[in-house]
Every structure is written in C-alpha cells, then in structure tokens.
Amino acid sequence: MVTESVGRVHIVGAGPGDPDLLTVKALRLIRAADVVVYDKLVSPAIMALIPAGTARIFAGKVARNHHMPQADINDLLVGLARSGRRVVRLKGGDPFTFGRGGEEAGHLAAAGIAFEVVPGVTSASACSAYAGIPLTHRDLAHGVRFVTGHTKDGQPLVLDWPRLADPDTTLVVYMGRTSAGTICHQLIRHGLPPGTPAAAIINGTRPDQQTLIATLSDLPRQLEAMNRSAPTLLVIGRVVDLARTLAWFAPDTPLPRAGDAESG
C-alpha cells in the first residue's frame, strides 16, 4: 500500500526522440521538476527542454553496459523523493513498454513513495509511422506482436518462435539490432518465408533517422553493413512493403533501400 510521502516521483515517457511527440503533461512535469533522472534513450532535443537550473542525473543503459544498475536507480528514486524534491524519472519511449517502469514503480510502492506514471509514445507506433509502415492493415496484417531482442545478462534469446512466425501478423522487435541474425534465422526456420518484407528503423523520429528495407533473409547482412550503433527497431511482415509509397518523413539522411548496402 502506498502512503503519502514528502516527495512524489513522476515516471514519464519521453517517446522515441522527436520532442513534438511529448505529451502536454510530460512537458509540464519536466519544466516543473527539481531533479530529472534520465535514460540514454532520451534524445538531446528533449533534454534541451529541461530548465537550466534543474538537477540532472544520468542513469542510462547501453546494451550490456549499465552506467547505473537497476537496483541503484530504484534506491536513488526513493532517496530523492524522501528529500522532498519533485522528481521526474524520464525514460525513452513508454515507461511500461520494455522500459522497466513497472520495476521502478513496484520499488516505489514497496517503499511507500507516491508515484505517477505518464505514458509516452512507444517506439513501435512512432518509428513505424515515421517510416511509413502501418502496423496493421486489413489486407496485410490482422494483428501485431511486440517482443524485445535484448536479453538479460547476455543470456540466449528464447522466444515463442512458432507463434511469432505468423505471416498474417506484424512482428515488432525492440532493441533488435544485435539479435537480428538470430531473430531472422529462427523465424525462417519456423516457417516464415525468407522473402518476407522486413525493416530496420534506426534512430526513429529523429533528424538522422534511417530506414533499411530488405527481405527477412537479407536484413541481418544489410544491417551489419550499415554499421550504425544506435537505437534500432525491427518491423517484420507484409506491411513493410507499404513504406515504399507511404514513407513521408524527410530526415537529414536518405533512406537506403534493399541493395544499397552492396553498392555503398
């Protein structure tokens, strides 16, 4: 049971990067905070919205390289709240979608700290929209599944491959860059055609967004050839083909198409 405490923690979703995708509530809380505890995935453009006098604490994580372990982040939030400050825990995307927001909220609840969760636009919907890829389409995909390609402590990636290899469903993989080879191999092994359209969206919604469109069998090779270490979302399914006509976002860098990696 959560009891009233001196401070309150706002667990706020910052979205995938474009500051225009922040909710009105998120922006209001960021501007009113005494301290912002932020993640690696919060874009520089959103960080620039934090007032100059607001304390900032980096608690980011890069794949297999934790600047601050999760247990320490949990304790930090409790300590800051008990100090009476207005705390914003700023997280990329949506806090409750592969964002560990549930773990942090649970720790605050156990400590009797009042908290509030402010949803953010999650990467699956935002990045695919900016790439011109509808996640569902009545002629091409009757559903969508979200999974993560990131594993805990470097453990093998274990997913329900037979269910995920569904040609009538769009599959979205968060943090899928390093596991792209395994993911594509397993999906093909469990029945998804090698020619299934697939995309890798890198730094989605940001000025340097890149969208690589390929086939399921060729995506890992082309993604490796691009050699970009940045937040990457994988989208697999027939809807990916629509990006060839629906891509509307004009980032600073061109959108490579299948075969570009070979010529570059």
pLDDT of residue 42: 96
64 φψ region: left (φ > 0), alpha (ψ -120 to 50), beta (else): left
Distance, CA of 215 to CA of 258 (rounded, Å): 8
Distance, CA of 243 to CA of 240 (rounded, Å): 6
Place of tokens 């009476």: 84
pLDDT of residue 62: 53
- CATH T-level fold of 8-118: Cobalt-precorrin-4 Transmethylase; domain 1 (3.40.1010)
pLDDT tens sequence for the chain (264 residues): 444 446 899 999 999 999 999 999 999 999 999 999 999 999 999 999 999 999 999 997 655 555 689 999 999 999 999 999 999 999 999 999 999 999 999 999 999 999 999 999 999 999 999 999 999 999 999 999 999 998 766 678 889 999 999 999 999 999 999 999 999 999 999 999 999 999 999 999 999 999 999 999 999 999 999 888 889 999 999 999 999 999 999 776 444 444 443 333
pLDDT of residue 227: 82
Catalytic residues, by residue number, are 39, 61
- CATH T-level fold of 123-263: 3.30.950
Residue ranges matching CATH 3.40.1010.10 in the chain: 8-118
DSSP string over 71-92: HHHHHHHHHHHHTT-EEEEEES
Distance, CA of 187 to CA of 201 (rounded, Å): 19
Tell me the whole-structure pTM to 2 decimals. Answer: 0.87
Residue ranges matching CATH 3.30.950.10 in the chain: 123-263
pLDDT of residue 60: 76
Distance, CA of 137 to CA of 65 (rounded, Å): 38
